[in-house]
Amino acid sequence: MNQPSILKIPLPMLKLIASSSRIHRVHPTVLRPAHDSASPLLRVLSSLVGLSWRNTNVGGRYFFCSGSSDSSDRVVDAGVQAADESESKASAIVPTYPRPEDYLTVLALPLIHRPLFPGFYMPVFVKDPKLLAALQESRERQAPYAGAFLLKDEPEADPSAVSSSDTDKNVYDLKGKELFNRLHEVGTLAQISSIHGDQVILIGHRRLRITEMVSEDPLTVKVDHLKDKTYNKDDDIIKATSFEVISTLRDVLKTSSLWRDHVQTYTKHIGDFTYPRLADFGAAISGANKLQCQQVLEELDVYKRLKLTLELVKKEMEISKIQESIAKAIEEKISGEQRRYLLNEQLKAIKKELGLETDDKTALTGKFRERIEPKREKCPPHILQVIDEELAKLQLLEASSSEFSVTRNYLDWLTALPWGEYSDENFDVTRAQKILDEDHYGLTDVKERILEFIAVGKLRGTSQGKIICLSGPPGVGKTSIGRSIARALNRKFFRFSVGGLADVAEIKGHRRTYIGAMPGKMVQCLKNVGTANPLVLIDEIDKLGRGHAGDPASALLELLDPEQNANFLDHYLDVTIDLSKVLFVCTANVVEMIPNPLLDRMEVVAIAGYITDEKMHIARDYLEKTTREACGIKPKQVEVTDAAILALIENYCREAGVRNLQKHIEKIYRKIALQLVRQGEMIDATVEPIKENIDSDEFGQNTVQNKNSELVEGSDPEKEGETSDKVDKVQTDLSSDESQCLEVAKESEEDKEIKTKTIEKVLVDESNLTDFVGKPVFHAERIYDQTPVGVVMGLAWTAMGGSTLYIETTLVEEGEGKGTLHPTGQLGDVMKESAQIAHTVARAILLEKEPENPFFANSKLHLHVPAGATPKDGPSAGCTMTTSLLSLAMKKPVKKDLAMTGEVTLTGKILPIGGVKEKTIAARRSEVKTIIFPSANRRDFDELAPNVKEGLDVHFVDDYMQIFNLALGDDQSQNIERVINVL
């Protein structure tokens, strides 16, 4: 009886097998020598392949050996050798007992990546020490067989995805029933060829099916040996399918060298070629996923197995075609680039021989020297020294080295900067005043500061750079005034925004050692503007970020310090730059957000916002004119009344800036443009029928005769003679061409008259303003004409400007010892503390004024600040809260048209507040006549423009008792009570 046998596998071949880390392709290298009497299928495959028989050593993880479907199967040496060498080593065959079909209980080996097909090698890694020991013991007992079964994917896993190392580790942890449930039922009886460490070399023999589990650790299962279903070798369908598989293999051979090696080795060493083996071979060496291969392994019907394999091989054919097209495209691209490179090198050599052109390094050096030569006299000595050193270094470097490109870029930046080049400044104060007034209305403080700067520069003969910070709410013109300043000074303008900037390298530059290194923004600015004294606008400086790449606010200290920026050091250039002549203008919405060390280096100019009168002038003189031109509308086509603009400002655009006002004006003019275009289309539609009434003769010429004949026919008999005389005269005086021109001219004039008469002027007034901008957004901030008892108007500052707010206090319940205060209105911690302080101060004053009144001791009070959805915080509402509490306690309303602001202490002192201009503007908007400010804010109020202070009665107080007398004094309260009684 012939028994399966195995040859010793050489160590180099095992190393080659172990070198592969993942199954992708199958390399059939270990096959039995072919018999002379090869099967017809083998002869067909050999004739189709048409390759020379040559020995090929192919390494891989999945190898072909002789199939073992019956007792005559045997395994040969793992190395690919000639037939005579294989026969000479026949004495090394070691018999194994018993036969493979006698194994009905086997150890279960899980396969992760692909199933093992009969007749193929596969190395697997066994991490379970118990399983590895059992395999070693089985091999030593001369029973080296185990069952190799493919693992099922997890239910949520994607079978087409490549498994990661983490997934492999999880699979290795599976044991017992859990592992048994994850195994496919059909696997392969595998001979254990060799074991090296945790790597086991398996050789597939025949198909198995798991019937039940015997033991869990290591997993042992009972199996049934499966045999292929009987089939007719002479069946035409099976033959045709197998020949189609072979034909597809032949097509793949033309494009894939890897498959060519597979089939060449297969046809040289395989014997007893059968249809089942052809199906297994095609599936095993294809690139299909593991589930498709498992489907082929489980199929026992030979014809169906051949069909499945044919699908896989056809798919492989398509992949090979795509691979071939990709390789061809890349090869053409590479060959074209190589050809171009060779031709360029030859061209350079020819030009160098003829003296027509120098090499790259010489040309670069000449370009840099030519660029720096005009600036050499003005350039600082230390800069010239660095440039000369880098030029000498450039000559020594190879053009292909990375250091060469770094040095070239460095020299490019060094020589491109405007060393010592300054633009001629204009110190004409009158001209500057005119330019600033042209671009902006109001902003007296800012304009005065710029004129002072120009005057100092004129007296000194030179201007020293300063750092001016324009602070104010959005839309007041901070950014645009920077452009006007640059135009007034005749300086170059450069703007960069630092809002959200979190990388110090944006300001100080990168180190040159980094890939893609660049200088900072200031060096880029100097290169762009071409002068060393530009005006640099640093926008949104209060919104600096802070990330992992450093603190940009600290990096700006050197840039904005007048004592340090004369020697500003950029990390990329690594040489000092003089920025002392640069005029820096910064913009910020909230100065408190700027770090104090940075704020200390700036001169802050506050822009509080615009009052209604200023907004009217801006809308008329700037916004409306610009918007009308941008929309292509002529002034005579539209009229926007002053009442409409006033309503737009008060009901839609109350914020401090004018950006929202500009948006609404643009909205109005867009709707007007649409209205004008629609009217024009309607006129065109009515004019067309009139033109069609013009008759033309057969030559296409309009004739006066036809037109006049119509007039004659339609006229009265008495006038026929007169009309005919006129017609004859026209016919004799005018030729046909002249009459045509006259007729067309008349028609065009008539069209123009019709259009001029039809297109009406669009009028926008207060009555139809809602048709253009919708319903009003704001309503009157003033809720009460006369504030009732317990209600006082306060003044608040916001980032969008100033606003008025009411503080209301009411009695909840009274009872012995129930004196508490409950504040609401989304108040911050500081404002809640102000409410408690106000409660204490009010109790003390009430005790002094009315000792017998136990109101605060026995009353539960509720203090509320309306607009509860708006967060509010700050101490400046202290005096307003105190007045509200006292008004309720004494049952006296405060004076009419009175608003107040100020922080109150426990002793009744009034401390200064901020935002005087914004609060004053808010009071004027609400038609408040009397304002109470702390005495410390008198200077701030005096600095306001006269039109802002006009018509206001302002009182400055140090102690709360002064507010008490102004708001709740006897004379005022009696007068108010009289007015109320009369009403």
Question: Which amino acid does the sequence have at 898?
Answer: L
- Write out the DSSP string of 242-299: HHHHHHHHHHHHHH-HHHHHHHHHHHHH--S--HHHHHHHHHHHS---HHHHHHHHH-
Which residue in 876, 884, 887, 973 is the catalytic one? 876
Using an 8 Å Cβ cutoff, are 659 and 479 in contact? no
- Give me the sign of the Cα torsion angle 240, 246, 248, 251: negative
Binding-site residues, please?
472-479
Q: Which of 812, 768, 805, 766 minimizes the C-alpha distance to 787?
A: 805
Helices (H) and strands (E) in the chain, counts: 37, 27
Give the DSSP per-residue string, 43-66: HHHHHHH-----------SSEE--
How far, in Å, CA of 228 to CA of 236, rounded? 19
Q: Cβ atoms within 10 A of the Cβ of 656, count?
A: 25
Task: Give rounded-to-5 percent helix, strand, coil for the chain.
Answer: 50, 15, 35
Q: Which residues touch 878 (CB under 8 Å, ≥6 apart)?
A: 834, 837, 838, 902, 903, 904
Query: Quick check: 186 and 221 in contact, CB under 8 A?
Result: no
Cα dist from 973 to 147, 368, 970, whole Å = 105, 85, 5
Evaluate whether 481 touches 470 at the Cβ level (below 8 Å): yes
Question: Out of 307, 521, 892, 919, which one is annotated catalytic?
Answer: 919
Q: How far is CA 706 from CA 235, 426, 694, 748, 899, in A?
A: 97, 72, 10, 19, 83
Is 193 one of the annotated active-site residues of the chain?
no
Decide: 442 and 579 in contact? Cβ < 8 Å.
Answer: no
Give 93's contacts (C-beta < 8 A, 6+ positions apart).
5, 6, 7, 74
Q: How is residue 685 written in tokens? A: 């539609």
What are the tokens at 240?
Answer: 């045709």
Is 919 a catalytic site residue?
yes
CA atoms of 35 and 43, how far apart (whole Å):
12
Could you list the residues known to form a binding site for ATP, using ranges.
Answer: 472-479
Q: How far apart are CA 247 and CA 249, in angstroms?
A: 5
For residue 114, give the nearest of 276, 285, 278 by alpha carbon.
285
CA–CA separation, 931 vs 927, rounded Å?
Answer: 11
Q: Are 167 and 221 in contact (CB under 8 A)?
A: no
DSSP category for residue 766 = T
Instruction: Give catalytic residues, as residue numbers.
Output: 876, 919
